[in-house]
Amino acid sequence: MSHNVSLELIDINTVSSIQNSLSHLTGFSLSVYGEKGNLILPPVSEDKFLSALKASQKGRDEYNDFLKRSIEKVAHRRDVSVIKGPAAQYYFFIPVCMNNVTFVITGGGVFFSTKEFEDFYIKDGESYGFPLPQLKSWSQEIFVSDYVAIHEASRYLQFLFNLFLKCGYENNLNEKKYRLTKTILSLISNIELDKKADEVYELLIDVLLFLFSADSVSIMVKDNELFRSQRAGGRLKEHLQTMRLKSTGVITEVLEKQRPLHSEDMMEILKLGLSDEVTSIYLFPIVLKNRVIGLLGIFNSPIAQEDADVIFDLCRIIGFVFRLLDLQSIYDRRLKNIHVLDLATTRLNPVKEPEMLYDAIVDLSVHLIGAERGSLMLIEDGSSYLTIKAAKGINKLLLKEIRIKLGEGIAGRVFKEGVPLIMDDIERNGKVLLKRRPNYKTSSFMSIPLKAGEKTIGVFNISDKVTGEIFSEEDMAILQSFLSYASIALERSMYYSLAGHLRELSITDALTGLFNRRYFEERFFEELQRSERHNLSFSLAMMDIDDFKLFNDTEGHLAGDEVLKNIANIAKDSLRVIDVIARFGGEEFAVIMPQTEKKEAFLVAERIRKSIKEQLPTTWKVFPKDTITITIGVAVFPSDGKDRVELIRNTDRALYKGKMEGKDKTVVWGW
C-alpha cells in the first residue's frame, strides 16, 4: 500500500511561479524539463545568442540533442552539473526532486571568456548562420562568467527551488486538508437529529467513495464473535455486503489499541474470512464512550497517511454523532409536542433569505410530523396559480414547472376555501377524484393553508408518514400551529427581500444599471485599504466617451441615454469577474481592477475600448462620425499614487493625455 502524497499536490502553477521569480532574480533564462527531457515550462525570455543559434537547422539539432543527453544524465546523477554545449556555451542543469517527481531546471548560455567566444565565432560561426562582420556586435550581447560563479549560482537556485517547491507542496497539502475537513464538517453538521444509524453509515460511505476515491468500503458492526457488514459501497459492494469477519489478527489489534491499522498480507486477509479479490485492507475503529461499536473497512485502496488521519478523525466524529443521536432519541421521547414546536420555530427566526426559509419550513414540518414528503406552495403577487417553492422527498426538477390553478385540485381548493384538509385514504374519499400515485407509500395526507392575518398566501402539503400510519388530528394541530409561525417568518422574509432590493437600488445607477459613484467610492476605499495592508497592486481606469456632447446636441438626449446604456453593457461584458465598473458621472466610467499591474490593465482596457468601437449599434442620423469611441486613462497603485487623490489625479492625467493625442486610445500613466 502506497503512503506517498498524491502527485496532484505538486502544482505546476507553483513551479511556474518559482521559475518566473528566480528568472527575474538571477537574470538567467530558466526552463523546466521532466526527467525524460520533456519540456514542462519554457523560459520567460530566451538568451538572444541561443535563439539565433537555434534559428539554423544545425544549431537546433545540436542543441536539442545536447539538452536531451544532459537532462537524462543529470536526472540519473541527481546532482548539479555545468556542461559545455553547442557554440562553446556552458549551461547548468539542476535536478529538483519532490515526492518522487524529478524536475530539471536548465539555464545559462554562458561563455567563460570573450576569447573563447571569438575563437568559436571565427572558426565555426558561419556554419550556424553567424556572418563574420557581426562578431563585434555579438561580443557585446553574450554573457561571460566563470565556472565557480555559475556552479555556485546553480547550488543557490537548487536550494531555492527545493525550498519554494516544498513550501508550495505543503501549502497545497494544507489546502487539501482544509477542503476535506470543511466538506466533511459541513456534511456532518447537516445530519438531522432524527436520522437513523443506517443513514449515517450511508453518508460515511459516500464521503469515502467521493472525497477519498476509495475502491470499496464497508461499515461493520459486532455480531457475537463476528463483525457483520451493515452497509457497503464501491466496486466490491455485493461481496462486502454479505461479509462476516472473524475477530482475529488485525481486527483484534484495532479493538485493543482503538487505532487504525492496515494490511496487505494475503494470508492475514484470507484468515479474516475475505476472498482473494481483496488485496489490501485498512481498518478504522468507530468508538462510542471508549467502546468500539463498529469498524470502517476500506479495501483495495492506497491511502496517503494524511488522508488516513482525516478518516480516523471522521470516525471519531461519527462515534460522537451516534452518541448525540442516542441522547436525542431519549430527549425526543420525553419532550411534549409543544416543546418540540417551540424548538422548531426558534430555528426559523434567524433565516431571512426566502429560498433558505422555504427549505427550512419544509424540513421542520416533515420532521415534526414524522413524514417523508412535503411541499410548500405559494402564490405570486397578481397571479392565479400556486407554484412549488420547496419540497422534500420529491425531485425538485420534476416540480419546477408545476403550477396549480386556484380552486383546482386539492391544493387549489384548500387555498381558495382557506380550510385545512386531512385524509386517511384519498382513493376512498368520494369528494376528491384523484388516484394515489404509485411512488407514494400511503394514501393518507394533509393539505393546510398558510395565512398571513386574514390573507391566504400559500398551501403546505404533507404525505407518507414514516411509520406508515395515517395522519391524525393531533398531527394537524401541531402542523397548523407551526405553520402559523412559518407564515409570520415568510411575511418577514418578503420585507427582508424588499429591503435588499432597495439596497440594490441605492448602489446602482438607474440609467445604466452599473454601480453608482457612491458605491464606487466605498469599493475604492476598501481596495486601497486591502492592497496597502497586503502589499498588493491594483489598477484604476477612467473611461470617457469621445465627443459625447456633440452627439447629444445632434441626436438628442434620449439617443444619448441609449448610447450610455449600450456602452455600459458592452463594457461590463468585456471585464473580468473580479473587476468593478461604475458610472463615475455624465459620460465617464470608472473601473477598479484588483491585483492587476499595468500590462494586464492595459489589455483589459483595450478589450473594452475595441469592443465598444466594434459592437456599439450605429443608429444615429446626424452625428458626423461613423463610430462612437472612448478614451481610457489607467494608473496603478501604489506606483502611480499611494492615496485616493493622487491615484485619481494621475488616472485623469492619463485620460487627458489620450484626449490630447487624438482620442480613441488607452493611455497608461508612466508608460
Q: Which residues are catalytic?
A: 587
What the block records as the C-alpha cell of 658 is 489620450
Residue of 521, 493, 525, 495 whose CA lies nearest to 507 = 521
- How far apart (Å, rounded) are the C-alpha atoms in residues 479 and 482? 5
Residue of 604, 670, 589 whose CA lies nearest to 637 = 670
| Cβ burial, residue 247 (10 Å; 0-12/13-18/19+) | middle
User: What are the beta bridge partners of residue 219?
Assistant: 231, 296
237, 329 contact by CB (below 8 A):
no
Residues 6+ apart with CB under 8 A from 394: 373, 375
Task: Tell me the CA distances in angstroms from 400 to 31, 379, 386, 394, 580, one per residue in order.
Answer: 54, 14, 12, 11, 34
Task: Write phi, then psi, for 575 (nearest 5 degrees).
Answer: -90, 165
Q: Where are the beta strands (DSSP E) in 434-549?
A: 445-452, 455-465, 538-545
Counting every residue, how long is the chain? 671
Residues 6+ apart with CB under 8 A from 316: 287
- How far apart (Å, rounded) are the C-alpha atoms in residues 92 and 110? 9
What the block records as the C-alpha cell of 436 is 394515489
**b/e map 52-88, b = 16+ CB within 10 Å:** bbbeeeebeebbeebbeebbeebbeeeebbbbebbbb
Identify the three-state secondary structure at position 549.
Answer: helix
- In which region does residue 404 sit, left (phi positive, over 0), alpha (psi from -120 to 50) or beta (all else)? beta
580, 592 contact by CB (below 8 A):
yes
Identify the three-state secondary structure at position 543.
Answer: strand
- How far apart (Å, rounded) are the C-alpha atoms in residues 590 and 657? 17
Residues 6+ apart with CB under 8 A from 210: none
Q: Where are the beta strands (DSSP E) in 563-613?
A: 580-585, 588-594
- How far apart (Å, rounded) are the C-alpha atoms in residues 212 and 534? 35
For 419, other C-beta atoms within 10 Å of its C-beta total 11
Q: In sequence order, what DSSP letters do the residues of 148-208 get, joined into one string?
A: HHHHHHHHHHHHHHHHHHHHHHHHHHHHHHHHHHHHHHHHHHT--TT--HHHHHHHHHHHH
423, 415 contact by CB (below 8 A):
no
- How far apart (Å, rounded) are the C-alpha atoms in residues 617 and 563? 8
